[in-house]
Structure 1
């Protein structure tokens, strides 16, 4: 891959042109952390219990599911695609895993997680085949599967509901248990985020996601299998959403046909606010995870301050518009810089 086709955020990119953009991205992540601290300390100044051990634990647990799904969504966004079906995948995986526990009461927890991963991977493969081989725009394909998968959920649920009383205590205790003071659920999500973060940064397969999103034609010339990489990205997104469905069931204990509804919008907002460009090729899991934490903290802070729910949605929308505006400005400046270089 040449320096001209290497995405600006990819590790090892040239320092000349990518330096200012890399500095901007780092400044953006730092700004998110600063805003997060301001929200935490500001809310704690009004209500000191907000920073209590119990409140922080609940905050981390509430953000963990979104943060996990953000991992798969980030990989898709890096390729200049989007996966709108993740909320439906979470809901279907959660209910079918609960049904599996009803059929096999002694099912080990790891097998339940493998079931969710496998189910999500199959659903993600449907999206990947439509986008990579069917050449259907990702927005259209995943919008269609969003409704198809949700329809399957309603058909399977058929007005039923999985309750905590139907689930094994070992499964429920996994979400509520802790290790080294951190909930097991949070530790698992951190492990997944760190693992995929290293993969995207340090391995050729991970860097190819940046290349595909930056310039798919140049990626082909560089010997990258764009079709295969696209399919793999959607399979991974689906698999992670399937695992998130299992953890959703463990976290809340009760699921019905509406489980996971609207989750896809929160996930996309968190990723974009965290610096993952909708134009592809730019972003990190660190930024995306910070974006999820920021939006989750703001939501909890508004609840603590007894603000109307409208403000939470309005702030999320405002942050999303701000993030997209920054992406547009950066893209235009980068394009002008490339034109000036080509003229010289």
Structure 2
């Protein structure tokens, strides 16, 4: 989505510049991922064994789903810090449901988890859109509220794999044509979100809101409604991630998803979604999630202290923000040049 440009010869050129910048960002992330995998494979050829590739896909799936929802929110110039707590709440709810109703159909469990996450997202979106309270403040508060509800519900209990049906747990281990079932969930979410943002007016309006909320409002975009549904979507995907987390790990307690929100924001920013809103894509966010997961797996293989994993992520975040700023300045110059030529 690009902001409306002045009529004249500069408009098509400006649009092409924006599209090229998006492609360059995502290609850069992909190349960094390939380079990291190549170096690690050179050190230890078992890094690309079938089992290790499967483990990487499984490890990045939940983070990628969370990153898609977070990207939609950040594109609107907001942020959702409560996703880790929503994941934990949905995960524990899933385990508790299977404890009390062992015969519960798996699709129903998925829908309940998504609905629970969407309800939490609606709380965030309602406070932000209706009361116009900053998203950082609201979601920081709900991070603790939702986690507190989880702790109160759990009361120190732990739900084990034996408490859940084997068919549900197979979601976390089974593969289809060599691709883990959990990864297929992520692909469906990613493609669906990508098509929505690119092909539907309400999706493109999210970019307009992130670029300039006041201008979008004057243009007739229902800013409050769009932001509300962005948070509902993020919450729903966090709820889905919570259900898949339960299937993946089997053992659940009140600490599920603790601190995950920081990894999610890091994946989105590293993936090329501008923290200032208005640009980026869910595909880049998913690539960022895969890159961060691969870094976590590659550093021990390379014999690097795990401490440097967080340092590397921090450097990537700072580099991504710096690159965003640099690209924004270059784009502004090109837009000004195109406008001048149009005159």
**Band the TM-score falls in, shorter-chain normalisation:** over 0.9
- The aligned counterpart of 2:196 is 199
Quick one: which of 100, 103, 107 aligns to 2:100? 103
Could you tell me how far apart the structure 2 residues matched to 1:140 and 1:14 are?
38
Secondary structure of 2:62's match?
helix
Picking from 238, 242, 254, the partner of 1:241 is 238
Q: 1:53 to 1:225 in 2, by over 3 A?
A: same
Aligned to 1:9: none
Hey, what's the Cα distance between the residues in 2 that align with 1:169 and 1:342?
A: 62
Which residue matches 2:36? 39
Equivalent in the alignment of 1:4: 4
**Hey, what's the Cα distance between the residues in 2 that align with 1:234 and 1:37?**
33
Residues 166-205 of structure 1: per-residue CA shift (max 9 Å, x gap): 1100000112111121111101110110111111111111
Secondary structure of the 1:314 match is helix
User: Structure 2 unaligned runs (5+)?
Assistant: none
Q: Measured at CA, do residues 154 and 2 of structure 1 come closer, stay the same or move farther in structure 2, by a change above 3 Å?
A: closer
- On the 8 A contact 2:121/2:235 being kept in 1, the answer is yes
2:80 aligns with: 83
Alignment of 1:218-297 (within 5 A): 218-297=215-294
Q: Are positions 1:125 and 2:122 aligned together? A: yes
TM-score, with length taken from structure 1: 0.94
Is the contact between residue 129 and residue 224 of structure 2 (CA under 8 Å) also seen in structure 1? yes
Deviations 1:14-49 (A, max 9, x none): 432233332222112111111111111111111111
Cα offset for 1:261? 0.9
Q: 1:308 aligns with which of 280, 289, 305?
A: 305
In the TM superposition, 1:53-68 aligns within 5 A as 53-68=50-65
1:231-277 CA-to-partner distances (Å, cap 9, x unmatched) read 00000100000010000000001111111011111111111111100
Corresponding residue for 2:131?
A: 134
Q: Which residue of 1 aligns with 2:205?
A: 208
Written as runs of structure 1 = structure 2, the 5 A alignment for 1:157-168 is: 157-168=154-165
Aligned partners of 1:3, 1:254: CA distance in 2, in Å?
47
RMSD across aligned positions (CA): 1.9
